[in-house]
Structure 1
């Protein structure tokens, strides 16, 4: 990490300002080589200075504002320089090339944040939250990322590790010094300590599904037989004409996917081809894709035509959906109705039913209430608690839970303390991997490779 790195840290393209970031021991030296301040003098720590970037022949490359930030109180905990150029590709490219010729090397993806982690400014969960913050599409996703970047999950994991460390200390003392005048470690005391940690880890694991939805989006599939209003529903939720709507059954022959935000919750909406028996080869392919979409969805909206009685095709679709994650929309309530909510309740027990017309904005709001409640049911109880949003964190928590349960089983069987210590230590290490206190280099490289350049 002794070398100095540099990258463009603002999005590529044209803009008012573009920033080049430099980090490392030679950052100040590089600045002195290429920057001529308008008022002669040495760079002042944390003071923005106006001047020009010049090349080896003293030709002006750009008119800039520069700031030098001395370690350790910087993003990377190293000396950092930021050069504010005009926001076009040519001045940014020319300035970066000059920085690289002056002794820096091009930064890898996420390398600035990786250095912040390796230098102890951030732990691994906080570093991962930085990318979540950058990629957040809704206010609620942003709020969760900010909490994690501020260390809410890290503090919880450290608390659990300290609880396990206390157990490990007691185990070690009783194993290595059984004849000393120390308090005997009873199996009851062991069980109490380990079970408390187990319950708290389980709470974190239980939050992972909601956390994944807030981070990646709620996958919603709109399904039903042809010409029941699926595409009209998608257009209504998007508030734009995205899908073609006609009275001809089978107009939609492939899945159409769009992203939107419904009251702060990111939603990935998929309009599917109408499901029916057909000899049309192209339509058949679309129908198979429809089935795959609703099998992968977090929530399914089954659209039925309220002006028509249920047909065999409707029953066939109902057989393939999970009622607990299905909303049945009885559409076209502006027409004479022959289909009732009670009939749906008996045919698909456990599914929520909404009877509205998608031509009416109030009907759309009623459906949005049901969609939001799929997430709100979980998040309302967790509003003041911690959400696990990262798949890596969830997997390590589950691995730690397995080791912890093995340790508790061994306690209940009153097995030797040496056996119990192995499983407790395994759980302790898995929790450490979450915050980066015990993690392999290849895992670190994988985590930071997902970052953008310049961050």
Structure 2
């Protein structure tokens, strides 16, 4: 009842990003959207927007209650159900200054709209049946996509590719349930093909398909959120130079003075379609400088928290205690580690064999490779890129975007579904009757429905959309 009351209200919000721009959009949705627009927008070539057809760009001016012009703008009207929310929607495209947009938004409130909650436009699209829950979640993934690969994955989910796969799983389960229930309801008919071993094989095949999607979870989450990557090394090993090389710009200060990087620098970079959340840390060494010491402590913290560590060594200097400290830190890092032997352009190679031998004695480190590099010439960058692809894709570079799992909640639902199918197989193996098998299968069917939103509690829906931005 409360949900229906909220849906009856007309909402409005600024739909463009915060800050100044050439164009700003105020979006209004609900049964009063058109009447509110009529009160505040005056077309230059007509008396009201109702004299125009729907889905036309109408040029005019926005006026307040006293007739004072706030801005010249374009108004677009989309009538229900042919809109994003399946409700009457009006978008006012004005100049993108923050003041003018806030003035127009405030005017919509005074005319009867209320402030939209985070994600409420997309939530209404979901509740009105335009999108299922998986597609709705993909909306924010499209907005936040950091590489072409992450955009393709998000668009595949938004287009319904992942939902179709989940719905196919649910239909497979329903088909098995229908067959079992037919044998329960009509035992005298001796339902053709009623074979427990055949049922077991169908359940096992479905379980294998679900587990295959679960294998893509780490890849999907990395493509969506980025691979948290810490660059560590002693001072002047070339950490900042490596970061600048990967970024393709001079982001970090590079000097011959040890301890130049005292605080951590964080940037996103696209490496072969993989978004890396790069963190250039302070050079690790013993120091009496209070500020630098804090930076070194943060470097340890980032290395221990990172999913990937790029450990940078100077290939032209003799191994010293600072290098030994880096190697020890590598051995304790929980994430993957790639060792970079930097300054290969100088060709002395003093440190390579020694470092390689030391690394062999690292018993805990998840070292994925040693890459000779030159931050100056770019040598070794392609090798690093190929290593990253192997880490993220696990060798499966032909992965299908619609089958990539990119959400922790969805992953947990699929894991629980696989476990419920395990219960089903155990029920069959114990020789229990069709009734008990159906109970297990129906639990799995309902659990899968939580991904598309067909069987989900309202509070979970609210929680999901609360993470959206306002105006979407």
Same fold (TM over 0.5): yes
From 40, 44, 54, the equivalent of 1:34 is 40
Give distance in 1, aligned partners of 2:137 and 2:125: 12
The aligned residue for residue 156 of structure 1 is 165
From 246, 261, 276, the equivalent of 2:270 is 261
The aligned residue for residue 451 of structure 1 is 468
After superposition, the CA RMSD in angstroms is 2.7
Give distance in 2, aligned partners of 1:280 and 1:15: 44
Give distance in 1, aligned partners of 2:107 and 2:256: 62
The aligned residue for residue 341 of structure 2 is 330
Q: How does 1:71-110 map to 2 (within 5 A)?
A: 71-110=80-119
Q: How much does 1:58 deviate?
A: 3.1
The aligned residue for residue 380 of structure 1 is 397
Instruction: Identify if the C-alpha distance between structure 1 residues 251 and 431 changes in structure 2 by more than 3 Å, giving closer, same or farther.
Output: same
- The answer to whether the Cα contact below 8 Å between 1:21 and 1:83 also exists between their aligned partners in 2 is yes
Q: How does 1:14-413 map to 2 (within 5 A)?
A: 14-40=20-46, 42-183=51-192, 185-247=194-256, 251-275=260-284, 286-310=295-319, 312-313=324-325, 315-321=327-333, 325-333=336-344, 334-340=346-352, 343=357, 346-347=360-361, 351-383=368-400, 386-413=403-430
Q: Which runs of 5+ in 1 are unaligned?
A: none
Q: Which runs of 5+ in 2 are unaligned?
A: 1-6
Give distance in 2, aligned partners of 1:130 and 1:259: 21
Give distance in 1, aligned partners of 2:295 and 2:62: 57
Give distance in 1, aligned partners of 2:471 and 2:370: 48
Q: How much does 1:122 deviate?
A: 0.5
Q: What is the SS of the residue equivalent to 1:454?
A: coil
Give distance in 2, aligned partners of 1:363 and 1:428: 49
Q: How much does 1:343 deviate?
A: 3.6
Moved more, 41-50 or 367-376: 367-376
Instruction: Identify if the C-alpha distance between structure 1 residues 370 and 344 changes in structure 2 by more than 3 Å, giving closer, same or farther.
Output: farther
- The answer to whether the Cα contact below 8 Å between 2:161 and 2:402 also exists between their aligned partners in 1 is no
- The answer to whether the Cα contact below 8 Å between 1:222 and 1:270 also exists between their aligned partners in 2 is yes
The aligned residue for residue 3 of structure 2 is none
- The answer to whether the Cα contact below 8 Å between 1:174 and 1:184 also exists between their aligned partners in 2 is no
Give distance in 2, aligned partners of 1:305 and 1:208: 36
Instruction: Identify if the C-alpha distance between structure 1 residues 184 and 289 changes in structure 2 by more than 3 Å, giving closer, same or farther.
Output: same
- The answer to whether the Cα contact below 8 Å between 1:227 and 1:248 also exists between their aligned partners in 2 is yes
Q: How much does 1:121 deviate?
A: 0.5
Give distance in 1, aligned partners of 2:327 and 2:23: 59
Give distance in 2, aligned partners of 1:97 and 1:332: 58
The aligned residue for residue 9 of structure 2 is 3
Q: How much does 1:400 deviate?
A: 1.1
The aligned residue for residue 4 of structure 2 is none
